[in-house]
Amino acid sequence: MCASNYVPLPPIGFRLLHELEGLIVGVQADGVITPAEVSRLGRWLAENELYASIHPFSELKTHLEQVLADRAITTDECEDLLFAIRKLTRSNPYFDALRTGLQVLMGLLAGVSADKQLGDAELRAISDWAEESNHLQGLWPFDECCTVAIAIRAAGRADERKQYLFDLARQFPVAGDLDEETGELPPLLVNGVCAIDPQIIFQDSRFVFTGESRRATRSALETLVAERGGEPWPRVTADAHYLVVCDGGNPLWAFSCYGRKVEQAYKLRKKGHRIMIVHEADFWDAVADTGATV
């Protein structure tokens, strides 16, 4: 087999269990497991039949099939599955805290969106998980998930922003999703990609700006960056560290669809580049934290 075409199989067994862990946490987050959520688990299992013999997925596959045989699943069965998964993945020779965390997160979001219902218990599950996994900050889709979940909870109601979370989950490479629509996925909105409470470091970092700021011209913004040891960067590339989204003082702009630079940065994030998309307000806070008067 050509080395360039070789896909190492052993790590896949652990990846699948991490995905399954997230899926189960998600579907049972509100304490009610619906037929749609059971169906989602069944589709995930069916589409991963190809890897049935790969350890440690092979150790749990039969158990999951038995649980799903009656087309229902209880919270106790979920807890038993989670216990078994965590036992099997405790000694993972391919362990990487970042990769593992993202695999669980993608499963979690796929799970909570399986029945197209999003209540406070499910949002709390996402927020609680995020607080325990803060080491993932800066990586896709951690920032995007946390931003949307926190925004919805802060609003105090299940408003239209919950759809952002469903649209985001559809973009994850988690098996078993139903492609109900043809064509491209719906565009996410800007307020779903800007990181919440980001850590902005100026020294040796490259900053790209998009949009218009009401507080300063583009050249003034770039001067602020340079004065603090950073480097203004002309366009979104894999070498950039931050994309600062300016909204011109218009709060409605934060809910508009991706601009060109935001879309470019988002695509880079999906490929694993750690370019952070931050709102102008957080940029100004970071400038103020340097002790300068702005």
- pLDDT given for residue 192 in this prediction: 65
| Whether pLDDT at 235 is above 80 | yes
Residue 181 shares a structural domain with residue 196: no
| Whether pLDDT at 276 is above 60 | yes
pLDDT range class, residue 157, cuts 50, 70, 90: low
Residue 30 shares a structural domain with residue 98: yes
For residue 72, being part of any structural domain is answered with yes
Residue 167 shares a structural domain with residue 248: no
Residue 42 shares a structural domain with residue 102: yes
pLDDT range class, residue 241, cuts 50, 70, 90: very high
- pLDDT given for residue 249 in this prediction: 60
For residue 126, being part of any structural domain is answered with yes
Q: What's the CA gap between 289 and 150, in Å, rounded?
A: 24
| Whether pLDDT at 61 is above 80 | yes
| Whether pLDDT at 144 is above 90 | no
14-37: buried (b, 16+ CB within 10 Å) or exposed (e) per residue?
A: bbbbbbbbbbbbbbbbbeebeeeb
Query: How much is the average pLDDT of 85-113?
Result: 85
End position of a domain, from candidates 122, 155, 186: 186
Query: How much is the average pLDDT of 85-100?
Result: 82
Tokens at residue 92, please? 């993972």
Q: What's the pLDDT tens digit per position in 18-38? A: 999 999 999 999 889 999 999
Residue 41 shares a structural domain with residue 177: yes
Query: How much is the average pLDDT of 64-72?
Result: 92
Residue 144 shares a structural domain with residue 234: no
For residue 78, being part of any structural domain is answered with yes
Range of lowest pLDDT (28-32, 50-54, 146-150, 189-193): 189-193
Query: How much is the average pLDDT of 254-265?
Result: 72
Q: What's the CA gap between 73 and 81, in Å, rounded?
A: 11
Range of lowest pLDDT (21-35, 153-167, 208-222): 153-167
For residue 44, being part of any structural domain is answered with yes
CATH code, domain carrying 243: 3.40.50.10190
Residue 241 shares a structural domain with residue 144: no
Structural domain including 251 reads: 191-289
**Structural domains counted in the chain:** 2
**Average per-residue pLDDT for the chain:** 83
Query: Do residues 109 and 22 lie in contact, with contact meaning Cβ atoms separated by under 8 Å?
Result: yes
End position of a domain, from candidates 168, 186, 204: 186
pLDDT range class, residue 66, cuts 50, 70, 90: very high
| Whether pLDDT at 141 is above 90 | no
Cα separations in angstroms, 58 against 44, 45, 51, 183, 248: 14, 11, 8, 35, 54
- pLDDT given for residue 293 in this prediction: 53
Which residue(s) pair with 245 in the sheet?
A: 210, 279
Q: How many residues does the chain have?
A: 294
Residue 146 shares a structural domain with residue 201: no
Q: What's the CA gap between 101 and 129, in Å, rounded?
A: 10
| Whether pLDDT at 254 is above 60 | no
Residue 100 shares a structural domain with residue 32: yes
For residue 137, being part of any structural domain is answered with yes
Which residue(s) pair with 232 in the sheet?
A: 207
Q: What's the pLDDT tens digit per position in 167-205? A: 778 777 787 776 554 445 555 666 667 887 788 999 999
Residue 144 shares a structural domain with residue 267: no
Residue 25 shares a structural domain with residue 70: yes
For residue 2, being part of any structural domain is answered with no
- pLDDT given for residue 221 in this prediction: 95
End position of a domain, from candidates 186, 206, 240: 186
- pLDDT given for residue 4 in this prediction: 41
For residue 119, being part of any structural domain is answered with yes
Residue 199: φ, ψ to 5°: -90, 110
Higher-confidence residue of 150 and 127: namely 127
Closest to 251 in 3D by CA, of 222, 280, 224:
280
For residue 1, being part of any structural domain is answered with no
Integer-rounded Cα Rg, in Å, for the chain is: 21
Residue 149 shares a structural domain with residue 270: no
